[in-house]
Amino acid sequence: MTHTPSAIDHAEKHIYHQPTFEETDLNDPIANRDLIVAARSYARATKAAVEAVEAARTSAMALVISDIEAIEAFNVEWEAKTTHRRGSRNEAGFTAEGKSRTKGGLDAFNKAAQMASLRYQQCRAVSLRADLNAEQATHAVDATQSRLVETARRLATRETMMALPQSDTGQN
């Protein structure tokens, strides 16, 4: 014979019995379905947020690297333009050629600088998108966490209300 928890074990003696945690029916598929659904939703949202934050970190690193490359390319172009404009110098009656440390044509340096600038802007756009996605994923986690907590609270309140004794009006 199994024991079913009840609010009053012995009606004639009015001894109230509060069911313990083990005595509650935790396997009730209807009562716990909402909690399981909320927990799974929270787990999915948390996983998506972790992935979005990692993508934002990766894109931020790529943006920094691209920024460095763009600065270096512009510096090379700037040096090439400065050397090209200077041309030959006349110092104390002697003609000296300004030697550039850069090798290659001015057009090639200009194109390299423009490509580095384009790459930087592309990385910046990816980084901004990743930051936005991470922010949205974090908000989704907060929302699903609230739903999970509310569902758990609602189920705990329902269990507590069911465990309370009925009034002495003859209802069981």
135-166 pLDDT, tens digit each: 999 999 999 999 999 988 888 787 777 766 65
Q: Give the range among 90-99, 113-122, 157-166 with minimum mean pLDDT.
A: 90-99
Within its chain, how far is the Cα of 125 from the centroid? 17
CB 21 within 8 A of CB 163: no
Q: Got the DSSP string for 16-49?
A: E-PPPTTTS-TT-HHHHHHHHHHHHHHHHHHHHH
Asked if residue 157 is part of any domain, the answer here is yes
Question: Is residue 102 within 8 Å of 84, Cβ to Cβ?
Answer: no
Decide if 7 is inside a domain. no
- Whether 4 is in a domain gets the answer no
The identity of residue 77, as a single letter, is E
Which of the two residues, 80 and 68, has the higher pLDDT score?
68
Quick one: tokens of 124?
């910046």
* Distance separating alpha carbons of residues 18 and 171, to the nearest angstrom: 18
Task: Determine, yes or no, domain membership for 168.
Answer: no
pLDDT at 170 over 60: no
As a whole-number percent, the residues of the chain with pLDDT over 90 amount to 33
Of the chain, the percentage scoring pLDDT greater than 70 comes to: 64
Q: Examine residue 97 and state whether it is found in any structural domain, yes or no.
A: yes
What's the N-to-C CA distance of the chain in angstroms?
21
Range of the domain at 32: 14-163
- Which residue has better confidence, 24 or 61? 61
Query: Could you tell me the pTM of the whole model?
Result: 0.56
Backbone angles phi, psi at 89, to 5 degrees: -110, 150
Tell me, what's the pLDDT at 167? 54
Each residue's pLDDT tens digit, 25-70: 455 666 678 888 888 999 999 999 999 999 999 999 999 999 999 8
Residue 172 lies in a domain: no
The answer as to whether 127 is a domain residue is yes
Residue 134: the pLDDT is: 93
Q: Residue 50 has what pLDDT?
A: 93
State the average pLDDT for the chain: 76
What is the number of domains present in the chain? 1
Residue, of 28 and 121, whose pLDDT is higher: 121
**96 domain-assigned:** yes
